[in-house]
Structure 1
């Protein structure tokens, strides 16, 4: 399988590296392009055999899969570059949530999918969000699902759920890392525990919690019940935590949805310009 990957910033580089480390792709199967040549060359240096294309069009030409890993407002320029070489047999994969599948299908002759990764895929875990265009057949879907199964758990979602699904899957690591950081800081400031020790304990706690929730058949509500005894230390602390965070995630989601609506409008306008 030949893969052209355009954009090797934080998510494009993460995807390329994750596929290669997992053995889902070999370096010889991947050609990358980036407007920042140093990033592409650095990635190729870590994975000998990975090809660096001189242009976006060269990366896309003759590729079975073309990954567009660029910022939403950069899509128009990239599409202008690659449109002359795209064919109906290719699959164009957008990893950018504000770019709608229907609009992308209007603009390219190829098959289209939208797949939203998460930073945790770098560890070979976590979900990837899958949305399929109308031109993909079952074989195309299986090819994409098999590829991403090497680094994640692919989850197919309706495109209208993309914002909240991305909040949970892709933004979530940052949200909970922030909360974990606050937990560690409070422990250090309140008790004087060594920061390094507090960080180790908190991170191991989070890893164990994740494993219980994923593999132990335990829901978030059940896990709280298992840890807290009525009237005990954890129960009293949970009550205080509930007061402090009441409505916090509703406000967070309101902000992400407001920003997404703004981005949708800007991206559609940029893509429809002639």
Structure 2
């Protein structure tokens, strides 16, 4: 598999997962470059993947025609400022995985006239089982859109969003979503233990139940409501639990949580402008 030279600005966990996915798909390590200020992380990346690493963002950026910005939102503006001259000269495809930072902000910070794709992957990307929401500005060509998809699809499925305003909802649903599942697992384990199960038994039962239910959602093609209906026998144990959830406003709790995460994403953008 051939690809344009790709530079990752930031060598943390998400960058590592994307690099691993690209290498698994046959991308030549020589075409991958990483800027990472932490020496230990640079050495680990080189040892694991055989890629070239740099302490300087500007030196790494000069190597790539695709830039993946994988640093924290709070520092992204300063990073972009250091890359403005190179961006104006190279006109790379800029892919950002920073939550809450808009394409307009990225374009402005890089001096204008850039092809920008916003991406929001989630942590299951570390296992190649993630999902990423993507938004492309009008300056992104069809070929560049395909390039961005190739990079992010290395870690799981991709979903293209046509309205950038909806990217905060993507962050709220899937970017933050794994934590909601972990919270549910935590609560189910604790409840099972309270009912007399051992910690080991409760953990196994919860993990395999969530794994199996997720596979059914993915592989059956059925709507969640239909799958729930099938397992909910009238006057049975499942119905008793579902009725208890709904009496406590389960759906409203989830809706408020998603709205809170969406609002926080919008606030991140304003705070870093």
Aligned to 2:232: 228
Q: Distance in 1 between matches of 2:48 and 2:248?
A: 45
Give the 5 Å matches for 1:129-168: 129-157=133-161, 158-168=163-173
Which residue of the other structure, out of 247, 250, 261, is the alignment partner of 2:266?
Answer: 261
Q: Distance in 2 between matches of 1:168 and 1:262?
A: 17
| Contact 2:46/2:53, CA 8 A, preserved across alignment | yes
Segments ≥4 residues shifted beyond 6 Å = none
Aligned to 2:5: 2
Give the 5 Å matches for 1:14-53: 14-20=17-23, 22-47=24-49, 49-53=50-54
Q: Would you say how many aligned residue pairs link Structure 1 and Structure 2?
A: 265
Displacement of 1:45: 2.1
Give the 5 Å matches for 1:58-69: 58-69=59-70
Displacement of 1:24: 4.8
* Partner-residue secondary structure (3-state), 2:204: helix
CA 1:24 to 1:200, structure 2 compared with 1: closer, same or farther past 3 Å? farther
5+ residue gaps, structure 2, are: none
* Partner-residue secondary structure (3-state), 2:47: helix
Q: Distance in 2 between matches of 1:4 and 1:177?
A: 32
Which residue of the other structure, out of 232, 242, 247, is the alignment partner of 2:246?
Answer: 242
The answer to whether structure 1 residue 185 and structure 2 residue 190 are counterparts is yes
* Partner-residue secondary structure (3-state), 1:167: helix
| Contact 2:80/2:106, CA 8 A, preserved across alignment | no
5+ residue gaps, structure 1, are: 269-274
Q: Distance in 2 between matches of 1:131 and 1:212?
A: 29
